[in-house]
Amino acid sequence: MITLKNFQLYDSKMIAGSSILFLKDESGLDWYESQANFGKKTLKFVFDENGIIISFDYDVSRLWPVGNSVSEVSKVPAGLDINGDWAFDGKKIFRRTYTSDELIEQATAKRNALLAEANTAITPLQDAVDVDDATDDELAALKAWKKYRVALNRLDLSTAPDITWPEVPQ
């Protein structure tokens, strides 16, 4: 297993009308020259300074590790993805555990997306009310969406991931 850390740009050249960028790792190894040192059948992956896996491929030449590191493994865990759920500890890939702050950040992003969805649903219903043209069904839907929006705003996100999310109105 090979691991090359902290690739940075060190040169660029125009070759046949294309700009070619050159990288080297913290020990001075060139990225293009180092690719031959990786195994033929291993999974190669790029990971950041926290060990979080951000890309992977069996073909090392398809990776671009600028600002990051590269390693390889022969044993690939089921479900591996690049959504931030996996990390590398220098020896193996593992499903990572999120910090409390990261969980709160994820919950905040989810709540904000759900609030945007609620606002999108509320706007035309409120317009119908404002112009005195709302049906009974629209009035009921507006009330349900507004109750949902209030419930979202009252959530205690500090308990993430143990949040009971309100049901989306139908």
Indicate the burial class of 52 (C-beta count within 10 angstroms; 0-12, 13-18, 19 or more): middle
What pLDDT digit, counting tens, does each position of 60-87 carry?
Answer: 999 999 999 999 999 999 999 999 899 9
User: Where on the phi/psi map is residue 40: left (φ > 0), alpha (ψ -120 to 50), or beta?
Assistant: alpha
pTM for this structure? 0.69
Q: Where are the alpha helices (DSSP H) in the chain?
A: 31-34, 100-130, 136-153
130 φ, ψ (degrees, to nearest 5):
-60, -30
What pLDDT digit, counting tens, does each position of 36-56 carry?
Answer: 999 999 999 999 999 999 999
Nearest-CA neighbor of 59 among 45, 78, 47, 76?
45
7 φ, ψ (degrees, to nearest 5):
-70, 135
Residue 130: the pLDDT is 97
